[in-house]
């Protein structure tokens, strides 16, 4: 069996920054990213949203580039530059032609190492972020996505929304932004990586030149969480045309080898259009347009979940059938044919993803962060192909114990219409779950 060979090189600079390069033949472009291994899960309660705030504010200008120049220098060459904030990372990334790699790395280095953070820009960007949060609030689906992790992980740093709350975003100061950035944007937390037309040694030399940050070692934080929502369906009344339904369980970190059977289980249940939940709920019952499962890993935990949106009148049937499918896969051995189909699907998707420089880059970073090394496509496929029917049923029984399940229905939901599926039913408001989610001046929103 032929596999796509991915060659990677890794350098650790004198200041502690890690540099990973992944050459890809036949490319004229370079896809690069700077990962800062800090995110919303590392924030104290009073500074919720500060990582996302920093991601925004550095684009307002650096020592050598104005806000306009940061994007214009890249876009006038046909490239792009952007950023995102996640629970445990912040990433600044760019795609440019090979001949423009120096200017892109220089700008990325300025964003990370030399942002100009002034009071005027902080106040301007605060309004932009609040507008972004308002937009999310006005979209019930986005609102549900923000709230569900609070049920899985409680009112904790890992469960809190990446945006923060209206209250904290309104109160974050310039001095707090500078202090948090200096403490967390440390060399030992920075990984610079590039894929495409790239040479590892040359990339390391360029990073050494453009990322002139002094060696430092940041404090490590362990994400702790607690909750009171296991074994429950939480009803959250909210004006919406649809009911947004989430159901999930906490799992394990990426380093756990159970991630391989979980990947197969995910395919069988809800990640593909041929999955059990999609075929039953959308194709046979016709009660949802979107029904999909997904999984996520963190340093010391993870989760698997399913989302579906349905009309209020179909909520009872949706919940009942979802739980029925989970019980079925836990109680009945799956067929060899279904297992082989899932394996072939995930193998194909994995190898197709190797055609994308960004996917290869993201995969390399995930492996480096969680395992400290790159896991080859061949090894990954071998581990997936070794998963048995018994592995799937064992994991399903472990995960889908009713006492572990966390479910949520946001929208126009009648508590009395929730079916008896072995889960306790509770009704909560958004502020019951997260009292500081809204600004004290915006209670009219409720």
Residue 318 lies in a domain: yes
Please check whether residues 89 and 34 belong to one and the same domain. yes
- Residue 397: both structure tokens together: 């029984």
pLDDT tens sequence across 326-381: 999 999 999 999 999 999 999 999 989 989 999 999 999 999 999 999 888 889 99
Q: Please give the pLDDT value at position 214.
A: 77
How high does pLDDT run on average in the chain? 92
Please check whether residues 25 and 155 belong to one and the same domain. yes
Q: Domain count for the chain, please give it.
A: 2
Please check whether residues 29 and 157 belong to one and the same domain. yes
pLDDT tens sequence across 2-30: 445 678 999 999 999 999 999 998 899 99
Quote the pTM value: 0.93
Q: Please give the pLDDT value at position 445.
A: 43
Question: Which one of 177, 210, 243 terminates a domain?
Answer: 210
pLDDT tens sequence across 50-71: 999 999 999 999 999 999 999 9
Please check whether residues 269 and 324 belong to one and the same domain. yes
Q: Please give the pLDDT value at position 438.
A: 66
Please check whether residues 206 and 265 belong to one and the same domain. no
Continuous segment of H or E residues that includes residue 243: strand 243-250
CATH number at residue 425: 3.30.830.10
Residue 4 lies in a domain: no
Nearest to 218 by CA among 250, 258, 189, 176: 189
Please check whether residues 64 and 171 belong to one and the same domain. yes
Residue 33 lies in a domain: yes
Q: Please give the pLDDT value at position 269.
A: 97
Q: What share of the chain is helix, strand, coil (3-state, %, to 5)?
A: 50, 20, 35
CB-neighbour burial class of residue 135 (10 A; exposed 0-12, middle 13-18, buried 19+): exposed
Q: Strands 29-36 and 90-97: what pairing?
A: antiparallel
Q: DSSP letters of 84-140?
A: EE-SS-EEEEEEEEGGGHHHHHHHHHHHHH-B---HHHHHHHHHHHHHHHHHHHT-H
Please check whether residues 256 and 163 belong to one and the same domain. no
Q: How many alpha carbons lie under 13 Å from residue 269 in its C-beta half-sphere?
A: 32
Q: Please give the pLDDT value at position 174.
A: 98
Per-residue pLDDT tens listing for the chain (446 residues): 344 567 899 999 999 999 999 999 889 999 999 999 999 999 999 999 999 999 999 999 999 999 999 999 999 999 999 999 999 999 999 999 999 999 999 999 999 999 999 999 999 999 999 999 999 888 999 999 999 999 999 878 899 999 999 999 999 999 999 999 999 999 999 999 999 999 999 999 999 999 998 777 666 656 555 567 999 999 999 999 999 999 999 999 999 999 999 999 999 999 999 999 999 999 999 999 999 999 999 999 999 999 999 999 999 999 999 999 999 999 999 999 999 999 999 999 998 998 999 999 999 999 999 999 988 888 999 999 999 999 999 999 999 999 999 999 999 998 888 999 999 999 999 988 888 776 555 443 43
| Contact (Cβ atoms closer than 8 angstroms) between residue 232 and residue 406 | yes
Question: Which one of 147, 179, 210 terminates a domain?
Answer: 210
The residue range of the domain holding 31 is 9-210
Please check whether residues 332 and 273 belong to one and the same domain. yes
Cα first-last separation, the chain? 58
């Amino acid at each position: 069996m032929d596999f796509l060979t991915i060659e990677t090189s890794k350098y650790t600079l004198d200041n502690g920054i890690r540099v990973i390069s992944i050459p890809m033949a036949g490319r004229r472009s370079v896809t690069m990213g700077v990962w800062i291994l800090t995110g919303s899960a590392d924030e104290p309660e009073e500074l919720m949203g500060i990582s996302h705030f920093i991601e925004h504010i550095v684009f307002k200008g650096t020592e050598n580039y104005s806000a306009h120049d940061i994007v214009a220098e890249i876009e006038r060459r046909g490239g792009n530059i952007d950023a995102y904030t996640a629970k445990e990372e912040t990433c600044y990334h760019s795609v440019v032609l090979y001949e423009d790699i120096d200017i892109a790395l220089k700008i990325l280095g300025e964003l990370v190492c030399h942002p100009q953070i002034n009071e005027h820009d902080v106040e301007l960007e605060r309004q932009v972020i609040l507008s972004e949060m308002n937009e999310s609030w006005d979209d019930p689906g986005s609102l549900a996505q923000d709230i569900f992790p609070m049920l899985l992980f409680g009112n904790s740093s890992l469960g809190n929304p990446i945006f923060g709350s209206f209250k904290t975003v309104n109160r974050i100061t310039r001095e707090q932004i500078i202090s948090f950035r200096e403490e967390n944007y440390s060399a030992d937390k920075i990984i610079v990586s590039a894929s495409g037309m790239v040479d590892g040694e040359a990339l390391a030399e360029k990073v050494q030149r453009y990322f002139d940050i002094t060696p430092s070692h940041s404090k490590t934080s362990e994400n702790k969480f607690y909750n009171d929502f296991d074994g429950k369906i939480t009803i959250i009344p909210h004006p919406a045309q649809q009911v947004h339904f989430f159901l999930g369980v906490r799992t394990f970190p990426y380093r756990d080898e159970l991630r391989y059977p979980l990947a197969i289980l995910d395919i069988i249940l809800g990640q593909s259009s041929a999955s059990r939940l999609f075929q039953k709920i959308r194709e046979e019952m016709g009660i949802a347009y979107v029904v999909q499962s997904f999984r996520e890993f963190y340093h010391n935990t993870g989760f698997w979940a399913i989302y579906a949106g349905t009309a209020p009148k179909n909520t009872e049937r949706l919940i009942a059938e979802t739980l029925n499918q989970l019980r079925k896969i836990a109680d009945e051995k799956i067929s060899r044919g279904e297992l082989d189909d899932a394996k072939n699907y995930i193998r194909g998707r994995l190898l197709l993803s190797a055609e994308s420089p960004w996917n290869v880059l993201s995969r390399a970073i995930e492996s480096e962060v969680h395992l400290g090394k790159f896991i080859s496509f061949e090894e990954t496929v071998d581990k997936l192909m070794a998963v048995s029917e018994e592995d799937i049923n064992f994991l399903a029984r472990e995960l889908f114990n009713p006492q572990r399940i966390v479910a949520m229905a946001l929208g126009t939901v009648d508590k009395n219409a929730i079916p008896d599926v072995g889960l306790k039913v509770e009704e909560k408001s958004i502020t019951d779950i997260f009292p500081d989610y809204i600004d004290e001046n915006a209670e009219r929103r409720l």
